[in-house]
Amino acid sequence: MQDKPIFRITKSTKISVLSGAGISAESGIPTFRSADGLWNDANLVKLATPRGFLADPERGWEFYDKRRQNMAACKPNHAHLSLAQMEKDGYDITVITQNIDRLHQRAGSTGVIELHGTVWELKCSNPSCAMSPFENHDVPLKEKYPICDYCHSPLRPNVVFFEEMLDEKVVRAANARTLDTDLFLVIGTSGIVYPAAGFAELAKMNGAYVVELNIEETQLTYFCDETRLGKCGETLPALLEEFTGGEYKFISG
Ligand code: BV8
Residue closest by Cα to atom 57 of ligand 1: 189
Structural domains of the chain, ranges and CATH numbers in brackets: 1-28+76-116+167-253 (3.40.50.1220), 30-73+118-159 (3.30.1600.10)
> In the sheet that 14-19 helps form, which strands lie side by side, from edge to edge?
113-114, 92-97, 14-19, 183-187, 209-214, 226-229
18 Cβ inside 6 Å of ligand 1: no
Q: Is the dihedral of CA 134, 199, 234, 86 positive or negative?
A: negative
37 Cβ inside 6 Å of ligand 1: yes
Ligand 1 binding pocket mutation candidate from 104, 113, 123, 162 (most atoms within 8 A of CB): 162
pLDDT of residue 186: 99
| pTM: predicted TM-score of the whole model, two decimal places | 0.96
Tens-place pLDDT, residues 193-226: 999 999 999 999 999 999 999 999 999 999 999 9
Catalytic center residues? 116
124: phi then psi, degrees, rounded to nearest 5 = -75, 140
**Residue numbers of the chain with a pLDDT score lower than 50:** none
pLDDT of residue 180: 98
215 Cβ inside 6 Å of ligand 1: yes
Distance in Å, CA 41 to ligand 1 centroid: 14
Residue closest by Cα to atom 10 of ligand 1: 163
Q: What is the DSSP letter of 221?
A: G
Q: Which amino acid would we find at residue 68?
A: R
Residue of 32, 211, 57, 209 whose CA lies nearest to 122: 57
Q: What is the DSSP letter of 39?
A: G
pLDDT of residue 33: 82
Tens-place pLDDT, residues 222-247: 999 999 999 999 999 999 999 999 99
Strand 134-135 relative to strand 117-124: parallel, antiparallel, unpaired? antiparallel
35 Cβ inside 6 Å of ligand 1: no
188 Cβ inside 6 Å of ligand 1: yes
pLDDT of residue 61: 96
Residue closest by Cα to atom 17 of ligand 1: 193
25-35 CB burial, b ≥16 within 10 A, e <16: bbbebebbbbe
